């Protein structure tokens, strides 16, 4: 990274740390939601943008992680730290199972089968009143005192999000990440040079499931509740839109897309119930005018500015 990039990121982190000091409670909550949704969208982009895997039902891992954490907090009697570890691990294990079932299919069929299996999990959660609370969900989830206030929940969410983003950044920049991008660009050629394509894709699905589970656990901390809609396929499409809007071939693009979508959803819905119509118009404009996303377009313009024009100095 350049010195300017690092300085900009440092300034952004400082501004975020000052949010709870100067902003009302509602905006602190909103900032926490943007952070965890940004983490969720980035975890999807790990397999979608960098892996070329059509993961169309990513919300199911988010919901499984949230319910795993919640059930440990409300039913096990164990310290909270075990709940926050269990949620992401259960989500990663579910990603492994789902990946083993779906990984042999081609891109589009993979996504369709995943939507079907994920919808089955949603139906179980929606109807299992004795264990998951059914369509009512679970509310008033007890939190440890140190993260029970909106400000402390924000700082906890912020720290875990930064750590998770750093780990995903290192994964993408590792040899595994380079191989994953090679598989995305040409899976046939990657297989011909000796790369085990399915094994790499399966590992990427497990990692993406784990970090989606982390985002789900953070939602429990911020909202103190879970509900079946967290596993519904419409949320998965919203997460895909976050990646596309921000820039799915950039690392921080999904974070930007999450901020835009959550902000618009929050404020537009105050004035109209037709939020989905606004979202549809935004997506049409992005597809036509910003196919590489907002951040992707900005990066392209930035790089183009540093290219030497043709016929320059020899």
Tens of pLDDT along 137-146?
Answer: 999 999 999 9
Bigger pLDDT: 270 vs 115: 115
Bigger pLDDT: 283 vs 182: 182
- For 117-130, give one letter per residue: b (16+ CB within 10 A) or e: bbbebbeebbeeee
Rounded to two decimals, what is the model's pTM?
Answer: 0.91
Whole-number Cα distances in Å, 288 to 125, 269, 282: 38, 25, 10
Q: What is the DSSP string of 147-198?
A: G-SHHHHHHHHHHHHHHHHHHHHHHHHSHHHHHHHHHHH-HHHHHHTT--HH
Three-state SS at 277: helix
Whole-number Cα distances in Å, 99 to 52, 102, 114, 118, 188: 14, 5, 9, 12, 19
Contact present, 240 and 48 (Cβ < 8 Å): yes
- The answer on pLDDT for 314 being more than 50 is no
Cα angle for residues 46, 264, 275 (degrees, 5° grid): 105
Average pLDDT, rounded, for the chain: 88
- How does strand 138-139 pair with strand 225-226? antiparallel
Contact present, 20 and 222 (Cβ < 8 Å): no
pLDDT tens digits along 16-53: 777 777 888 999 999 999 999 999 999 999 999 999 99
pLDDT tens digits along 248-300: 889 999 999 999 999 988 888 888 777 878 878 888 888 888 888 888 888 87
């Amino acid at each position: 990274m350049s010195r300017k990039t690092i300085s900009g990121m440092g300034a952004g982190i400082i501004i975020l740390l000052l949010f709870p000091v100067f902003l009302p409670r509602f905006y602190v909550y909103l900032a926490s939601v943007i952070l965890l949704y940004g983490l969720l969208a980035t975890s999807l982009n790990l397999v979608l943008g960098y892996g070329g895997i059509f993961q169309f039902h990513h919300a199911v891992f988010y919901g499984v992680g949230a319910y795993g954490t919640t059930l440990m907090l409300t039913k096990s009697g164990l310290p909270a730290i075990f709940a926050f570890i269990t949620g992401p691990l259960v989500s990663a294990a579910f990603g492994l199972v789902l990946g083993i079932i779906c990984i042999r299919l081609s891109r589009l069929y993979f996504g369709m089968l995943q939507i079907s299996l994920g919808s089955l999990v949603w139906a179980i959660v929606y109807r299992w009143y004795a264990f998951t609370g059914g369509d009512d969900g679970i509310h008033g989830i007890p939190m440890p005192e140190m993260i029970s206030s909106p400000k402390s929940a924000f700082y906890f969410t912020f720290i875990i999000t930064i750590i998770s983003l750093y780990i995903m950044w290192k994964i993408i920049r590792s040899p595994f990440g380079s191989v994953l991008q090679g598989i995305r660009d040409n899976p046939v050629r990657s297989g011909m040079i000796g790369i085990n394509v399915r094994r790499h894709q399966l590992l990427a699905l497990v990692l993406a499931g784990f970090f989606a589970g982390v985002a789900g656990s953070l939602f429990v901390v911020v909202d103190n509740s879970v509900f079946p809609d967290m596993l519904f396929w419409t949320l998965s499409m919203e997460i895909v839109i976050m990646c596309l809007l921000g820039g799915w071939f950039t690392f921080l693009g999904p974070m930007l897309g999450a901020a835009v979508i959550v902000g618009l959803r929050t404020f537009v819905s105050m004035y109209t119930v037709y939020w989905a119509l606004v979202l549809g118009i935004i997506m049409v404009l992005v597809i036509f005018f910003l196919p590489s996303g907002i951040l992707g377009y900005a990066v392209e313009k930035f790089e183009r500015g540093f290219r030497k024009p043709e016929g320059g100095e020899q």
